[in-house]
Chain A
Amino acid sequence: MDTKIYLPFDTEKFCKLKVGQKVLINGIIYTARDQAHKRIIDRIKKAGLKGKTKDFFDFRNQVIYYTGATPARPGRIIGSAGPTTSYRMDAFTPLLLKYGLKGMIGKGERSVAVREEIKKHRAIYFIAYGGCGALYSKCIIKKESVAYFDLGCEAIYRLNVENFPVIVGIDTKGNDLYEINRKGK
């Protein structure tokens, strides 16, 4: 049986999730990928987290989903919305974790630095099924724009998801599924 979690309320339960465990995410997640990360980091570097402005997105205690969806066909909430490759965000992630990001959803391996920060801040990295944008489209029940609208598909959206299937890739103790697999079980 897959474990169900409800976000953002269940972030305290992250420490109970083990690497390799199948999880169904329910509730709120935020999309952000390359350009949005760049802007958030620029913002933090300039003003720190206190300088809150309208173009600032408060990611503290939230989970970010690395995706850039296709446009929605009329009558649909969102188009295809699968995960993008996570390593491109590795340069930005440690700082976000330091400032309170609780989790990430993407695909592929993370850097050692990211893994260490995940462990340090008891955060989590979920792996979504790569290329399965249609599958995930069905799990998204609401979509609202949050920030950086000019970025189009790379803007930040708040998604309400239902039974969104993922696997724990790096747990709060820093156990890494890809690494375990590489070293042989």
Chain B
Amino acid sequence: MRQIDIDAITKIVKNLCIEANYFLSPRVLKLLKNAYKNERENLSKQVLSQIIENCKIASKLKIPLCQDTGMVLVFIEIGAEIKIKYRNNALLNNLEAGIQEGVRRGYKEGYLRKSVVDPLTRENTQDNTPAIIYTRIVPGDKIKITLSIKGFGCENMGKVKMFTPAAGNLEIKKFIVETVKKAGANPCPPIMVGVGIGGTMDKAVLMAKGALVLGTKSLVKNKKITELERECLKEINKLNIGPAGLGGKVTALGVYIKTHPTHIAGLPVAVNISCWANRYREIEI
């Protein structure tokens, strides 16, 4: 049986926290550069050029793209045929602890902001833990770690709605576009819109969040979904919110939808918004 040390996982999580915060993924950067080409208005072009310049400075100086270095989400898929070798200390004696230790080290060594507090007392945990961890056991002997950094300017703008099955594509589309419209300038447009349709309430939200991690190969989309994505994007970009909310053609860089079978009595729809600095990393070991 293949074996891996928990230290290796901790180290990977640490590095991914730092990398995701310093370097925007080339895929998102390309979307921003295309947006710059497509914008016509002076002010919106100016905003996009500052954003692109910001990305250059961040990677050159090795400092975070944005001061909101967010909360960390870790999606980990563990092959059923791999054994993790733990350490004999409380920080590394189980998988969850090992991941949290990686986040702790990443936020300290990478000079990242510690933004996690108790929800009631608002007392800071001082090390940006706990990260939100989702674990899945999958076939094989590999481990896939997907890490997403979520700032709360955009996180605060998300919404979930439990429609009845009477609702159709039109209502879903209206809900998505309305959510973006209400968010306006707050989530740092040009945004990316993640949508989850179906499942249960929690599943819909989780899909919306997962959809924002671009580059996942796992989902083969059917034509109906791609069409809905395209229609939503078109409507959203007619809102004239634009970069920084100062008007323009590019309010969203993309709409990404995931679906899951749901109950005969329901139709959950969740919208999760990412700012332009959609920070994520994926690695398979």
A82–B67 contact, CB under 8 A?
yes
In the complex, chain B residues whose CB is within 8 Å of the CB of A72? 111
| Contact across chains for B277 and A134 when beta carbons are under 8 A apart | no
Q: Are B67 and A130 in contact (CB under 8 A)?
A: no
Q: C-beta contact mask, A149-185 vs B, less than 8 Å → 1, else 0?
A: 0001100000000000101000000000110011011
Interface status of A26 (Cβ within 8 A of chain B) = no
Give the residues in chain B near A133, CB-CB below 8 Å.
Answer: 54, 58, 63-68
Contact between A35 and B122, CB atoms less than 8 A apart: yes
A54 partner residues in chain B, CB cutoff 8 A: none
A76 near B67: Cβ-Cβ < 8 Å: no
B50 within 8 A of partner (CB): yes
How far, in whole Å, are A80 and B65 apart by their CA atoms in the complex?
7
For residue B246, which residues in chain A have a CB less than 8 angstroms away from its CB? 127, 167, 177-178, 181
Bound CA–CA A80/B112 (angstroms): 9
Cβ proximity bits B242-262 to A, threshold 8 Å, 1 near / 0 not = 101111000000000000000
Which B residue's beta carbon lies closest to that of A134? B58
**Considering only CB atoms and an 8 Å cut-off, how many residues of chain A contact the other chain?**
41
Q: Are A131 and B63 in contact (CB under 8 A)?
A: no
Instruction: Check if A119 is an interface residue, CB within 8 A of chain B.
Output: no
Knowing A71-B111, A107-B185, A131-B277, the reply to whether A80 touches B53 (Cβ < 8 A) is: no
A-B contact pairs, 10 of them (CB 8 A): A68-B115, A71-B112, A82-B68, A107-B185, A134-B55, A134-B61, A134-B63, A134-B65, A178-B185, A181-B242
Q: Which positions in B face A, CB cutoff 8 Å?
A: 43, 46-47, 50-51, 53-55, 57-58, 61-69, 111-115, 122, 124, 153, 156, 184-186, 188, 240, 242, 244-247, 275-277
- Beyond the given pairs A79-B67, A81-B67, A108-B245, 8 more chain A to chain B contacts, judged by CB atoms under 8 angstroms and listed by A's residue number, are A69-B67, A76-B63, A85-B186, A130-B153, A131-B66, A131-B275, A131-B276, A132-B50
